[in-house]
Amino acid sequence: MASSSIARGGIASWKKAEGETFTAGDVLLEIETDKATIDVEAQDDGILAKIIAPDGSKNVAVGSPIAIMAEEGDDLSGAAQMASEPSAAPPSPSKEESTPEPPKAEEAPKPTPSQAKPELAKGERIFASPIAKKIALERGIPLAQVKGTGPEGRIIREDIEKYQPPAAAASTVAATSSAPATSSSEYTDTPVTNMRRVIGSRLTQSKQELPHYYLTVQINMDKTMKLREVFNKTLGEKDKAAKLSVNDFILKAVACALNDVPEANSAWLGEVIRQYKKADISVAVATPTGLITPIVKDVGSKGLATISSEAKALAKKARDGKLAPQEYQGGTFTVSNLGMYDIEHFTAIINPPQSCILAVGTTKPTIVPAPEEERGFKTVNMMKVTLSSDHRTVDGAVGARWMTAFKGYLENPLTFML
C-alpha cells in the first residue's frame, strides 16, 4: 500500500482473482482509508499472480506488499513462495532502501554507535523507528514507557501496537481475577475501523485541547416553515423529486451570518488566526462506519435549490463511502443536525482547526406568551440550536453576535433574498 496521507488502511475487496490478467486502467481492488473507499487502478498491463492481503484485511501498513504482480509469460509457480518470504526472511538494509516505508523496516537498525539499551532505561535518549514514532504520536503513547524489542532495545512498530499502559494492565488483571468468566455468546466484539479510530483520536484531542464554550438560543421557525412550504410547492411543479429541507435554510442562514460576523469563520493555526472569505460549510453525515463531514463549498453565493441538491448528493456519496478527499477535507464551519431524530438539544465537539460547530435540534410546537392574543398565548414552531466555539479565536461576545445574526435570518428568511 502507498499513500502520503494515511499510516494504514484496509482491503475492502479485490476486483481481480489470482491468475487473472488486467490492463492499464482496470480497477484491481478497493482500499478502505479512514474516510472513504478508494478504487486502485492498474498502471500497466499484467497478471495478478498472488494476493498477500485478502479481502477484509485491516490495519495494513503503508508500504507493505499486498500482492505479487507478473507479466504475460512469467512463471507463476513461485508466486506463493515469494509471498511468504517477506514475513519469514529477516529484514535487510536493501529493503529499507527499496521501499519508502516497508512493514519490517523498523527492525533494521541504523548503525549508530550510541544505540544501546542503557540509554533507553535512563531516559536520556529513545531509539525508535520512524513508523513506531508516528503511531505512538497518533495514539498518544509515551515512548519512554515502551520497552523496545528490536535490535539493541530499539522500539519497533510491534512494540507500540502491543503496548498497554501500566494502569490499564493492572485493572485488566484485577477485572480478570474478580469478574466471572463470560461466554462469547453474551457479547459481540466489533473490530475498530480506521475511520472510527481516527474519529476517536481527533474528537478526544479536540475536547482536551480546545477551550470550548457554548451558546444556546431558541428560534421561531414559523416563517421559515411557511416559506419552505411555498418553495416546495413551486419546485414540485417543475421537478417532483426536488424538495427543500429545513437544513437547506439553516446552511444558507449560517453562510449569511458568517458574512455578517466573519470572525466566526476562522481557524486557529498556532501562530496565526486565519479568517476565511467564503463559507465552506461541513455538514455532519452519519454513515455505517462513522461520522464524516462533506463540504458544501461557498454556500453564501448559492441559492437554496443548489444548496439542497449539492448537500443531498454529498450525503449519498458519504453513505456509499465514495467521497473524494477534496469533498471532505477542509471546511470553515460545521453544522450537525439531529433534529430528524427528534433530539431537542445537544452540544457538538468542534472539528479543528475550525473555530465553531452548530448543533441543531428538532423543530417542535411550543406555547409562548402572546399578550396580543385573546388567550394570552399562542403556539409557534421553535427550534433550539447550540453554538460550540473555540475561545482562542471566537470570544463570547463574537459568538453572541453571530447567534443573533443567525437567528435573525431564520426568523425573517426573506432577508436571504436581499
Residues with a known catalytic role: 391, 395
**In angstroms, rounded to a whole number, what is the distance separating the alpha carbons of residues 176 and 170?**
10
Instruction: Retrieve residue 279's grid coordinates.
Output: 463559507
- Give CA 143 to chain center in angstroms: 26
**In angstroms, rounded to a whole number, what is the distance separating the alpha carbons of residues 260 and 35?**
33
CA distances from 230 to 37, 106, 208, 249, 315 (A): 39, 64, 45, 13, 25
CA distances from 111 to 93, 107, 376 (A): 10, 12, 85
**In angstroms, rounded to a whole number, what is the distance separating the alpha carbons of residues 244 and 228?**
7
**In angstroms, rounded to a whole number, what is the distance separating the alpha carbons of residues 253 and 220?**
14
CB 159 within 8 A of CB 144: no
Element (H, E) at 310: helix 304-320
Instruction: State phi, psi for 8 to the nearest 5 degrees.
Output: -155, 160
Q: Are strands 333-337 and 281-283 parallel, antiparallel or unpaired?
A: parallel
What are the beta bridge partners of residue 155?
A: 128
Q: Are strands 46-51 and 27-32 parallel, antiparallel or unpaired?
A: unpaired
- DSSP output for 227-238: HHHHHHHHHHHH
**Which of 389, 323, 321 minimizes the C-alpha distance to 354?**
389
**In angstroms, rounded to a whole number, what is the distance separating the alpha carbons of residues 332 and 329?**
10
Element (H, E) at 305: helix 304-320
**In angstroms, rounded to a whole number, what is the distance separating the alpha carbons of residues 224 and 363?**
11
**In angstroms, rounded to a whole number, what is the distance separating the alpha carbons of residues 176 and 161?**
22
CB 289 within 8 A of CB 193: yes
Spatial neighbors of 85 by CB under 8 A, at least 6 apart, are none
